[in-house]
């Protein structure tokens, strides 16, 4: 009989400004609370990227280049990725409606060896526009031979247009949340505490399903706390 300890999940991730990492901390806690062994592989750009970009111009240039799916070369993967896993989670931010540059480089170099015959759930962190990213990522995974069984998407909670303005200014190195005017509509950059707790709940749910051998496609990760339609609260907390 298989034991709980036999279930292993590999998380391959990239996080530029810490948002995906925050969600993964919650998700990992949840998985581990269900007795799952979690192994994390972080994608490391060969030339480290600095958050924030530092200027409006540098941010605009980066957004333009990433719209055309600019690759960011990454260091070789560790041997952890060669092991056998019950599930792989590929996690990272949306960059100009696409997967981020490091994730695109991962597919170019390692896609078919890494993902062939694997069961994968992508996790996306974004300000709000994830559909094109999801469709593209799913296609890349399927082309690499993976079975994509579900998706986890988290959007930022602030309302539009403040969410877009806030993210842009934050990437440019400004502090919109501290501005007397913008701060009223944009209290923070990124995901809120309740969403990190939701990520933890998702982890526990996923872990339980793995242990019980349930169909992972039947799990509902599309909750109002994860995907906040058109932006949600403008309140802190």
Ligand X SMILES: Cc1cc2nc3c(=O)[nH]c(=O)nc-3n(C[C@H](O)[C@H](O)[C@H](O)COP(=O)(O)O)c2cc1C
> What are the residues binding ligand X (CB under 6 A)?
15-20, 62-63, 66, 93-97, 125-130, 167, 171, 190
Of 187 and 190, nearer to ligand X (C-beta) is 190
CB of residue 170 to ligand X, shortest distance in Å: 8
Of 85 and 130, nearer to ligand X (C-beta) is 130
Of 6 and 175, nearer to ligand X (C-beta) is 175
Of 82 and 194, nearer to ligand X (C-beta) is 194
CB of residue 153 to ligand X, shortest distance in Å: 10
Rounded distance between C-alpha atoms, residue 10 and residue 48, angstroms: 23
Of 7 and 42, nearer to ligand X (C-beta) is 42
Most distant CA atoms of the chain, gap in Å: 61
Of 7 and 170, nearer to ligand X (C-beta) is 170
CB of residue 129 to ligand X, shortest distance in Å: 4
- Cα–Cα separations (whole angstroms), residue 13 to 18, 146, 208: 11, 17, 22
Write out the E strands in the chain.
8-13, 37-42, 87-95, 98-99, 119-126, 147-148, 152-155
Show the tokens assigned to 102.
Answer: 């490091």
Of 7 and 98, nearer to ligand X (C-beta) is 98
198 three-class SS: helix
Strand partners, 148: 120
CB of residue 117 to ligand X, shortest distance in Å: 28
CB of residue 116 to ligand X, shortest distance in Å: 26
Which has the closest alpha carbon to 127: 171, 94, 81, 85?
Answer: 94
| 59: number of Cβ within 10 Å | 20
- Cα–Cα separations (whole angstroms), residue 107 to 39, 114, 226: 20, 9, 26
CB of residue 122 to ligand X, shortest distance in Å: 13
The set of residues, in sequence order, having a beta carbon less than 8 Å from that of 15 and lying 6+ positions away, is 21, 24, 42, 91, 92, 93, 125
CB of residue 20 to ligand X, shortest distance in Å: 3
């Amino acid at each position: 009989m298989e034991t709980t300890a036999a279930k292993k999940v590999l998380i391959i991730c990239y996080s530029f400004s810490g948002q995906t990492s925050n969600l993964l901390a919650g998700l990992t806690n949840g998985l581990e609370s269900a007795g799952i062994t979690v192994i994390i592989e972080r994608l490391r750009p060969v030339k480290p990227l600095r958050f924030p970009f530092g200027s409006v111009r540098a941010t605009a240039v980066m957004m333009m280049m990433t719209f055309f799916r600019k690759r960011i070369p990454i260091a070789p993967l560790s041997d952890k990725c060669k092991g056998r896993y019950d599930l792989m989670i590929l996690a990272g931010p949306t960059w100009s409606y696409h997967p981020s540059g490091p994730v695109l480089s991962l597919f170019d170099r390692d896609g078919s060896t890494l993902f062939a015959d694997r069961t994968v759930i992508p996790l996306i962190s974004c300000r709000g526009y994830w559909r094109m990213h999801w469709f593209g990522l799913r296609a890349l995974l399927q082309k690499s031979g993976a079975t994509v069984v579900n998706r986890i998407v988290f959007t930022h909670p602030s309302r539009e247009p403040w969410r877009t303005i806030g993210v842009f200014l934050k990437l440019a190195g400004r502090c919109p949340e501290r501005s007397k005017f913008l701060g009223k509509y944009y209290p923070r950059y990124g995901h809120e505490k309740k969403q990190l707790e939701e990520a933890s709940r998702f982890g526990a749910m996923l872990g339980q399903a793995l242990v019980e051998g349930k169909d992972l496609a039947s799990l509902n990760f599309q909750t109002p706390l994860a995907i906040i339609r058109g932006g949600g609260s403008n309140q802190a907390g």
